[in-house]
Amino acid sequence: MGLTRSDAPLSAHAPQTVNYRIDGPAHKLLMHPFPRRVRAEFAGRTVLDTREGVLLHETALPPRFYVPETDIDASTFVPSDHTTHCPFKGDATYRSLQVRDRVVENALWAYPDPTAEAPWLAGYASLYWEAADAWFDEDEEVQGLTDPYHRVDIRRSSRHVQVLAGDTVVAESNAPLMLAETGLPLRWYLSPDDVQVPLEPTATSTHCPYKGDASYWTVRLPDGRELTDAVWGYPEPLPESARIGGRVSFLHDGLRVLVDGEQV
């Protein structure tokens, strides 16, 4: 989320509650240093190794990681005929990632002749995250880089949280954990002991670079209805979000979440 999404300062719809004006286009770009060492591996080769990477923040998009061309192993990339055009950045050229018999088409792109409004993109390239087998932030393998303008705060609360499906109480607590994440509504994490209906694990999983790998559950209601993937939690969260470990949160069209009697 950070600076460019939702109602953040550089979004297309910046907040009105400010005493300043940001002149410029509705679609904004901001390139910001990311000085940590970042590496990408593919087919047993290190294809990218940089201490000079940058994050490109762009209105309504997640930040993209770009690195100097000199920090890319040029021998593992093959020029492609594929091109795309961005009205804000220019014409992008692409290269395929190839090591021995493994190939990922159009895995890397760059703007060799960027627009006059973004000349600092020249000399940088970006590799699709999913193209590599593994990424490392310093010496830790990661599934995504974190945005320095995005944060997660977790706090104990004594607010009364109810989760309802119609008139059925699915879960209820006076001791939830509140999770506040940049650009997102507050989420309420409850103890499994607060859940009053059966939960059935599903095969769904997602990854958050700030919280970790999430597991999901289906809510089974007394009337026989099932609300698939209505519950999620982080059994083994990342250290910075350890407090929500083992807790669960709720979101589904068939559920209402009330906090102190008001729906959220």
- Of 97, 106, 92, give the one whose Cα is nearest residue 73: 97
Structure tokens at 8: 């953040």
Q: What is the pLDDT of residues 218-244, one digit of tens each?
A: 999 999 999 999 999 999 999 999 999
Q: What is the mean pLDDT of residues 1-5?
A: 68
pLDDT of residue 60: 83
Handedness of CA 75, 78, 79, 82 (dihedral sign): negative
Percent of the residues in the chain that have a pLDDT greater than 70, as a whole number: 98
**pLDDT of 2 over the 80 cut:** no
- Of 209, 255, 200, 211, give the one whose Cα is nearest residue 55: 209
232-240, long-range: CB within 8 Å, 24+ apart, which pairs? 232/206, 233/189, 236/212, 237/211, 237/212, 238/210, 238/211, 238/212, 240/152, 240/210
Domains of the chain: 29-142 (2.170.150.40), 152-263 (2.170.150.40)
pLDDT of residue 183: 84
**pLDDT of 5 over the 70 cut:** no
**pLDDT of 23 over the 80 cut:** no
Q: What is the mean pLDDT of residues 92-103?
A: 97
**pLDDT of 84 over the 70 cut:** yes
Q: What is the mean pLDDT of residues 26-31?
A: 89
pLDDT of residue 245: 98
Place 4 in a pLDDT band, splitting at 50, 70 and 90: confident
pLDDT of residue 94: 98
pLDDT of residue 88: 95
Nearest-angstrom CA–CA distance, 204 and 232:
9
Q: How high is the mean pLDDT of the chain? A: 94
pLDDT of residue 1: 53
Residue 161 near residue 188, CB atoms below 8 Å: yes
